[in-house]
């Protein structure tokens, strides 16, 4: 485990040391007005290289591979170093971190960007951690958990008992792998995003959109007769109102994952923006006296973000479970408090 | 790069990588973990149920023991009573037998005494008769000459015998 962590650090610290002979531009930026908005957007956005930090003119950056597909031209792969500082390579250039072709033709960008690299890293981490946990179970059988296993066990049990069982009901077992993966994926990536130099993966709308779409697909594919009956013939609603109700219910199907997408994206991005804003204050006022205040607030927000990291993972998982629960529920059974987490306990929870 | 515009490339990688992670974790992590948890929970439940059952059995056993003890006590009392009765009876019997034996012995003794007495009497009588004959012989030998004195002597002897 220790060796693995070391390897991880080595990978993370593998960075190109680029002493660029662009002193003039650097000096120019130094005297330039500090633009917090641009800085923040740069930090929370994606990019084709992983910039760690800069000291004066030295930029510590890991250049990531660019993979571009152009119809008629084919696939082209090269290091993003070729595109640094606005250079053109193979007819491609970066425009505001966006890969475009010089002639204006369509480019499909499959590059391993900072977020994709972070995604791969988190995927590896998830696999390593949970396969280690599973090995603990294989080794100890029904014995008491130890080590990493005992850290994750209560969380797994929480997701199973408090989220899946209560929201989905008796058919919860089929959806446990997705719920657990989503929960730990979001949590791990939230935490990785909080680390210095980390990518803002869960605060990226593409990622949250993919997760929300997966939830929508699972909900639709596991939906039963009652779910659709509830949409097209809402019980207790007069027939005359159905022309209004059906579109509303149909919109509801889309709004649910949309809210999932926006909630996670906005929460994580907002946290990053607030933290960066407090840090920006130091540069805006150009006064060391502001630093302690900025740091205190920044620290406070960071602590809050640690809470938000797990909270958002929980909320995403809980809402996913509730949407699935609504789709698989046999009929409106008062015993299963569908959508309730605050309501009374089910009379006979299984 | 607009932050609210989803990037096609990232969506692609997210689908691919998340899909792979989901499939790998499902078969190599979640399934073994959840089944182990279930197994452990059922084993704990089973152990608790068994403990309850054992407690119940223990109670039953204890109640049985007490019942047995009470029965044993009753039995002991009964046996004691019987033993006392029997010993009393035996004592009584022994006493009766002793009495009887005593009475029998006394009767036997009495009979023997009677017999001895009779024998003794007979012997006395015989001896007396012999004696009388001896006396009579001696008298007869000595006093055949003196008739009146003879008569007198015979009379006195007879008188004496009669008195006896």
The answer to whether residue A23 scores a pLDDT higher than 80 is no
* Residue of B2, B3, B28 to mutate for A, most A C-beta atoms under 10 A: B3
**φ, ψ of residue A54 in degrees (nearest 5):** -130, 140
Give mean pLDDT, residues A127-141: 91
| A48-58 confidence digits (pLDDT tens) | 888 888 887 78
Lowest-confidence region among A61-75, A306-320, B21-35, B90-104: A61-75
Q: Distance between CA A215 and CA A219 in Å, rounded?
A: 6
Question: How far off is chain A from B51, nearest CA to CA, in Å?
Answer: 18
Question: How far off is chain B from A139, nearest CA to CA, in Å?
Answer: 11
ipTM of the prediction: 0.81
Name the residue of chain B whose CA is nearest to A131's CA: B29
Whether residues A181 and B15 touch (CB distance < 8 A) is answered with: no
* C-beta atoms surrounding B31 within 10 Å: 14
Return mean pLDDT, chain A: 82
| B40-55 confidence digits (pLDDT tens) | 999 999 999 999 999 9
Give mean pLDDT, residues B76-87: 95
% of chain A surpassing 70 pLDDT? 85
Return mean pLDDT, chain B: 88
Give mean pLDDT, residues B61-77: 95
- For residue A331, what pLDDT is reported? 65
Q: Which DSSP symbol is given to B145?
A: S
Selection from A16-25, A60-69, B149-158 with the highest mean pLDDT: A60-69
Question: What is the SS3 string spanning chain A?
Answer: CHHHHHHHHHHHHCCEEEECCCHHHHHHHHHCCCCHHHHHHHHHCCCCEEEEEEECCEEEEEECEEEEEECCCEEEEEEHHHHHHHCCECCEEEECCEEEECCCCCCEECCCCHHHHHHHHHHHHHHHHHHHHHHHHHHHCCCCCCCHHHHHHHHHHHHHHHHHHHHHCCCHHHHHHHHHHHHHHHHHHHHHHHCCCCCCCCCCHHHHHHHHHHHHHHHHHCCCHHHHHHHHCCCCCCHHHHHHHHHHHHHHHHHHHHHHHHHHHHHHHHHHHHHHHHHHHHHHHCCCCHHHHHHHHHHHHHHHHHHHHHHHHHHHHHHHHHHHHHHHCCCCCCCCCCCCCCCCCCCCCC
The band of A11, judged by pLDDT with boundaries at 50, 70 and 90, is very low
- For residue A335, what pLDDT is reported? 46
Name the residue of chain B whose CA is nearest to A265's CA: B4
| A172-196 confidence digits (pLDDT tens) | 999 999 999 999 999 999 999 998 8
Whether residues A123 and B1 touch (CB distance < 8 A) is answered with: no
* C-beta atoms surrounding B136 within 10 Å: 13
Supply A128's token pair: 């390593």
Q: Is B34 on the interface with A (CB under 8 A)?
A: yes
Burial A231-245 (b: 16+ CB within 10 A, else e): beeeeeeeeeeeeeb
* Residue of A207, A218, A267 to mutate for B, most B C-beta atoms under 10 A: A207
All structural domains of chain B with their residue ranges: 9-121
Q: Is B37 on the interface with A (CB under 8 A)?
A: yes
**φ, ψ of residue B27 in degrees (nearest 5):** -85, -30
| A271-294 confidence digits (pLDDT tens) | 999 998 988 888 888 888 888 888
All structural domains of chain A with their residue ranges: 2-113, 116-328
Beta-carbon contacts of A53 under 8 Å, excluding residues fewer than 6 positions away, are A60, A197
Name the residue of chain A whose CA is nearest to B23's CA: A177
Question: How far off is chain B from A278, nearest CA to CA, in Å?
Answer: 20
Among A200, A182, A132, CA closest to A321: A182
Strand duo A16-19 + A74-79: pairing: unpaired
């Amino acid at each position: 485990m220790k060796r693995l962590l070391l390897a991880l650090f080595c990978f993370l610290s593998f960075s190109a040391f680029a002493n660029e002979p662009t002193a003039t531009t650097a000096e120019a930026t130094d005297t330039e007005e500090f633009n917090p908005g641009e800085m923040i957007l740069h930090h929370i956005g994606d990019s084709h290289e992983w910039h760690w930090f800069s000291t004066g003119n030295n930029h510590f950056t890991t250049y990531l591979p660019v993979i571009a597909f152009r119809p008629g031209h084919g696939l082209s792969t090269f290091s993003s170093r070729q595109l640094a500082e606005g250079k053109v390579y193979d007819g491609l250039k970066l425009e505001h971190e966006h890969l475009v072709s010089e002639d204006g033709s369509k480019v499909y960008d499959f590059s391993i960007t900072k977020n994709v690299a972070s995604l791969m890293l988190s995927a590896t981490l998830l696999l390593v951690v949970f396969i280690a946990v599973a090995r603990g179970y294989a080794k100890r059988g029904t014995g008491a958990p130890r080590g990493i296993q005992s850290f994750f066990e209560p969380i797994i049990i929480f997701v199973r008992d408090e989220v899946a069982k209560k929201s989905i009901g008796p058919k919860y077992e089929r959806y446990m792998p997705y719920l657990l993966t989503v929960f730990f994926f979001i949590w791990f990536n939230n935490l990785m995003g909080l680390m210095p130099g980390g990518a803002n993966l869960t605060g990226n709308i593409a990622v949250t959109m993919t997760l929300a779409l997966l939830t929508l697909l699972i909900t639709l594919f596991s939906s039963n007769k009652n779910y659709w009956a509830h949409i097209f013939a809402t019980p207790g609603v007069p027939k005359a109102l159905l022309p209004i109700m059906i579109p509303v219910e149909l919109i509801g199907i889309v709004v649910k994952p949309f809210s999932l997408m926006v909630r996670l994206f906005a929460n994580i991005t907002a946290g990053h923006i607030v933290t960066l804003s407090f840090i920006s204050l130091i540069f805006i006022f150009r006064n060391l006296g502001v630093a302690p205040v900025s740091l205190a607030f920044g620290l406070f927000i960071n602590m809050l973000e640690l809470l938000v990291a797990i909270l958002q993972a929980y909320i995403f998982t809980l809402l996913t479970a509730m949407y699935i629960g609504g789709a698989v529920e046999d009929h409106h059974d008062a015993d299963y408090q569908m959508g309730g987490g605050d309501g009374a306990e089910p009379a006979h929870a299984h | 790069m607009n932050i609210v515009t989803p990037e096609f490339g990232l969506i692609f990688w997210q689908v691919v990588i998340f899909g792979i992670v989901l499939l790998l974790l499902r078969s190599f992590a979640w399934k073994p973990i959840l089944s182990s948890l279930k197994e452990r929970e059922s084993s704990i439940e089973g152990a608790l149920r068994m403990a309850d059952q054992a407690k119940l059995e223990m109670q039953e056993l204890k109640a049985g023991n007490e019942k047995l003890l009470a029965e044993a006590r009753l039995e002991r009392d009964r046996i004691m009573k019987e033993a006392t009765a029997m010993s009393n009876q035996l004592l009584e019997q022994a006493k009766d037998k002793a009495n009887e034996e005593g009475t029998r012995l006394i009767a036997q003794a009495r009979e023997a005494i009677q017999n001895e007495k009779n024998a003794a009497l007979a012997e006395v009588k015989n001896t007396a008769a012999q004696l009388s004959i001896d006396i009579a012989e001696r008298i007869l030998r000595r006093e055949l000459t003196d008739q009146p004195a003879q008569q007198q002597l015979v009379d006195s002897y007879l008188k004496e015998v009669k008195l006896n």
